[in-house]
Amino acid sequence: MSPIDTPAAVGRPAAKRGRPRRADADDAILAATLELLSEVGVAGLSMDLLAQRAGVGKATIYRRWDSKEALILDTLRMMSTPIPVPDEGTVRDDLFAYMDAVIQHFRPGRGSDTLPHLIEASCYDDQLRASLDHYLRDRQSTTRLILHRGIERGELPVDTDVDLITDVILAPFFYRHLLTGATVDREFTHRLVEFALR
């Protein structure tokens, strides 16, 4: 979910009236959100605190985002450092490298309650549900890219079920991380990749 009222339509002159939105407020708010997420987590991030930190009125936040959660999701989208696409030469090694990075990325810490929070919030907000879905499917793109590259190279059969393998590789990671709390280490992800490419 992007900030509300983004004049997405190209070519429309937007016929702006009234004082325009402060251009730098979005950034200030997103930056403050990112700061607070890592300092106090989602649980400690109140809208009052956020507004104060961003040097902004609460109304300015609500004018731009529908909810705290829409804002947080946008913060993840815009501010979080992306996991780079590895290029080790083979699908197997690319997936090994990528999953190593994923493990690093989901280290437990102050911000590790963010994704669970968004998941719960999306139960009550269809628009957020759609945005979160879109965001998380986007994060599959690296895995998909690696697999497609493998098919092009002839390393994988042309009829490889990319969707399924993507799920099979990524899902157990989140399943263990969020649900069963089982160990997620390199040994596990490597075993998983071997199984998926078997």
Partner DNA sequence: GATTAACCGAGACGGTACGTCACGTCTTTAA
Partner DNA sequence: TTAAAGACGTGACGTACCGTCTCGGTTAATC
Binding site for DNA (CB under 7 A): 5, 15-22, 25, 44-49, 51-52, 55-60, 62-64, 67-68
Q: Measured between alpha carbons, how far is 138 from 144 in angstroms, rounded to an integer?
A: 10
**Residue whose CB is less far from a copy of itself, 103 or 119:** 119
Do the beta carbons of residue 96 and residue 88 sit within 8 Å?
yes
Pick one of DNA, a copy of itself, none as the site partner of residue 37 (Cβ within 5 to 8 A by kind).
Answer: none
Measured from the CB of residue 18, what is the shortest distance to a copy of itself in angstroms? 9
**# residues contacting a copy of itself (CB under 8 A):** 37
Nearest CA among 53, 7, 6, 13 for reference residue 31? 53
- Own/partner pairs for 134-137, CB < 8 Å, 24+ apart? 135/73, 135/76, 135/77
Residues 27-56 vs a copy of itself: string with x where CB under 8 A?
A: --------------x-x-------------
Instruction: Report the site for a copy of itself in 157-196 (rule: CB under 8 A).
Output: 161, 164, 167-168, 170-172, 174-176, 178-182, 191-192, 195
CB of 119 to a copy of itself, least distance (A): 5
According to CB under 8 A, which one of 4, 14, 47, 130 is a site residue for a copy of itself? Answer: 130
As measured in angstroms, the least distance from the Cβ of 11 to a copy of itself is: 29
Binding site residues, a copy of itself, CB under 8 A: 41, 43, 112-113, 116-117, 119-120, 122-124, 129-130, 132-133, 136-137, 140, 161, 164, 167-168, 170-172, 174-176, 178-182, 191-192, 195, 198
